[in-house]
Copies of this chain bind each other. A is one copy, B any other.
């Protein structure tokens, strides 16, 4: 295990891949791995990219990988697919396009399955980021599919959150419904050669101007148009990202975000550990028996939770 950690730190793609697999599997050796990696973390700029299916997330990620590589930086990509907890597997699909960079030794690309609640984004993804960070990645791009919860989670996760939209898919009200207005640091309207791109940009700017963040001194999220498949708009996106980085580094938000992210991670690990112990409570006061009693109306979930907690041996 120490050899594996050393190889990862030296930049071995195979070692990095092995470590991320340990993270995905929740392997018992993770404790030792994370302890060994800890002193070497905290360097990478974590950028989240999110948006609905079809907005061009993979193409946009590929475009940004190219732009960061042009700066000579080492780049990690985590593509978190919202797979069901039933199948557990991540679909590859358009991952294939990322192969532009598949042979570049300074780029690590990894698809990860996102599991249910407590083993989900909130836990495995931050750990995979740690691995890439310790392996010397200057930038880690975290791409999540879907709308809703995953955006909100990535907002707690990334230093900079990029929200992608496409004309005709996400007008202002849809964006507001999906809860993405509050979480985007940079908005990108991709496929800007399509009808309605300017209207989408206008809608977004209008809705941002109505929000809390219109106040002076606060970061006002820029809205940038791109055609990622043709690299159109890449300079504007990079400029917006750089400005956001400078802003959060100067005002202390970077540090605050990272501390909140670490706190979430610690909490998730602690709660998962407690949850495992719930499973060890058996017999009359076990979760299965309590659940049956709740279904029968013989008790209520709060009383059942109290009973469960009294059985817990910490």
Contacts and interface: CB of A to CB of B under 8 A. Distances in A.
Interface in A194-210: none
A177 B86 contact: no
Interface in A111-169: 114, 116-118, 120, 122, 126-127, 145-150, 152-153, 155
A38 interface: yes
Total copies of this chain within the assembly: 2
B177 A93 contact: yes
A271 B269 contact: no
Given A120-B149, A287-B263, A308-B270, A178 B82 contact: yes
Interface stretch (A10-18, A224-232, A239-247, A298-306): A298-306
Contact of A93 (B53, B173, B288): B173
A266 to B, nearest CB: 5
Nearest to A151: B84
A266 B182 CA distance: 31
A263 B174 CA distance: 34
Given A35-B302, A266-B301, A297-B40, A273 B309 contact: yes
Given A295-B259, A297-B41, A266 B305 contact: yes
Contacts of A278: 267, 270
A298 B259 CA distance: 13
A31 interface: yes
Nearest to A180: B84
A30 B260 CA distance: 29
Interface string A281-314: 0000001101110111111111111001100101
Interface of A: 30-31, 34-35, 37-42, 52-54, 81-87, 91, 93, 114, 116-118, 120, 122, 126-127, 145-150, 152-153, 155, 173-174, 176-183, 255, 258-260, 262-263, 265-267, 269-271, 273-275, 278, 287-288, 290-292, 294-305, 308-309, 312, 314
Given A93-B173, A269-B305, 5 more contacts: A84-B179, A91-B173, A114-B149, A120-B149, A263-B291
The 10 closest A-B pairs by CB, nearest first: A146-B148, A84-B179, A263-B291, A82-B148, A262-B294, A269-B305, A262-B291, A149-B149, A38-B300, A270-B305
9 contacts: A35-B302, A42-B295, A81-B177, A84-B152, A146-B148, A147-B148, A259-B295, A266-B291, A269-B302
